[in-house]
Amino acid sequence: MAAIVKVNTKTGLSKADLKALGTSLLPFLLLVILSVFVFRVFLGRVNTQRTSLSTSRRDENILREKQELLSELNSEVVPLVEPIAFAIPHKNASLMMIAQIKQQASIRGLFVTNIQTGPAIAEGNILRYEVQFDVDGDQTQILDFVSTLSSVAPISKLESLTLTIVGGASRGEVTISVFAAPLPESLPAIAEPITEFNESDLETITRLTSLVPPPFFEITAQEPVVRENPFD
């Protein structure tokens, strides 16, 4: 009782005042606390959802653009794969070049002998094969033949040519480098954008596809057939 009197003396508020204040301020405080809690929860959730939506829409746009680009390129790109794969093969570059050498030489009536090829030499992500051969025939034809190798697939480099002319007969000792490169091992992630081919890329593609392909093709396996019984 002494305490209530003390309070009353200090604040000048009666029990009825305190009750009235309590019944109005308590809901007010509860409302404030509830509002802070609810708004924090909702705003946090809204922010998370907005981030998620923006990521999802960005991915959706990337996928849409990728789908449009791939649909547009579908008919143009697929036929280019073979000539490009001949220009920079992933294997057998030296065999392809030997086939080209033999064909180009026979067109000009030249004789190619002593064809030798070395093992693959890795130079970064490119494999280099050295091919050496001798060629006999007319001097002009030999030079023309060597020049022609620049326009055949696979891509090659003239390392050296020694042309010896004795009594009108010419012999060329030729060393060239042929190149191959391993295929890309994985596709980019599905949501990773694909860029269009620029002007420089198209020029490179044109140059690669203009190379004469090697004069052989892959023999596909024959489908199994039912053999006739010879005793029937």
Q: Which one of residues 77, 107, 121, 169 is an interface residue with other proteins (CB under 8 A)?
A: 77
Task: Decide if residue 163 touches other proteins (CB under 8 A).
Answer: yes
Q: How far apart are CA 88 and CA 167, in angstroms?
A: 40
Q: How far apart are CA 202 and CA 138, in angstroms?
A: 38
Task: Decide if residue 6 touches other proteins (CB under 8 A).
Answer: no
CB of 118 to other proteins, least distance (A): 17
Backbone angles phi, psi at 188, to 5 degrees: -65, 160
3-class secondary structure, 188: coil
CB of 220 to other proteins, least distance (A): 18
Q: Which is nearer to other proteins, 49 or 106 (CB)?
A: 49
Q: Which is nearer to other proteins, 70 or 107 (CB)?
A: 70
Which of 132, 145, 133, 137 has the alpha carbon at shortest distance from 165? 137
The enclosing H or E element of 226 equals none
Q: Which one of residues 78, 219, 225, 226 is an interface residue with other proteins (CB under 8 A)?
A: 78
- At a CB cut-off of 8 Å and minimum separation 6, what does 86 contact? 96, 153, 154, 211, 213, 214
Residue 128 burial (CB count, 10 A): 18
| Subset of residues 14 to 53 that bind other proteins, contact rule: CB under 8 A | 14-17, 19-21, 23-25, 27-28, 31-32, 34-35, 38-39, 42-43, 45-46, 49-50, 52-53
- At a CB cut-off of 8 Å and minimum separation 6, what does 185 contact? none
Q: Which one of residues 95, 120, 181, 212 is an interface residue with other proteins (CB under 8 A)?
A: 181
Task: Decide if residue 189 touches other proteins (CB under 8 A).
Answer: no
CB of 120 to other proteins, least distance (A): 15
**Paired residues of 180 in beta bridges:** 127
Q: Which one of residues 99, 115, 120, 126 is an interface residue with other proteins (CB under 8 A)?
A: 126
| Subset of residues 90 to 119 that bind other proteins, contact rule: CB under 8 A | none
Query: The tokens of 86 are what?
Result: 């001949």
8 Å CB contact between 179 and 155: yes
Task: Decide if residue 165 touches other proteins (CB under 8 A).
Answer: yes
Query: The tokens of 50 are what?
Result: 């907005």
CB of 223 to other proteins, least distance (A): 23
Q: Which is nearer to other proteins, 118 or 188 (CB)?
A: 188
Query: The tokens of 88 are what?
Result: 């920079």
| Subset of residues 208 to 227 that bind other proteins, contact rule: CB under 8 A | 208
By CB under 8 A, which span of 68-76, 102-110, 112-120, 215-223 interacts with other proteins? 68-76
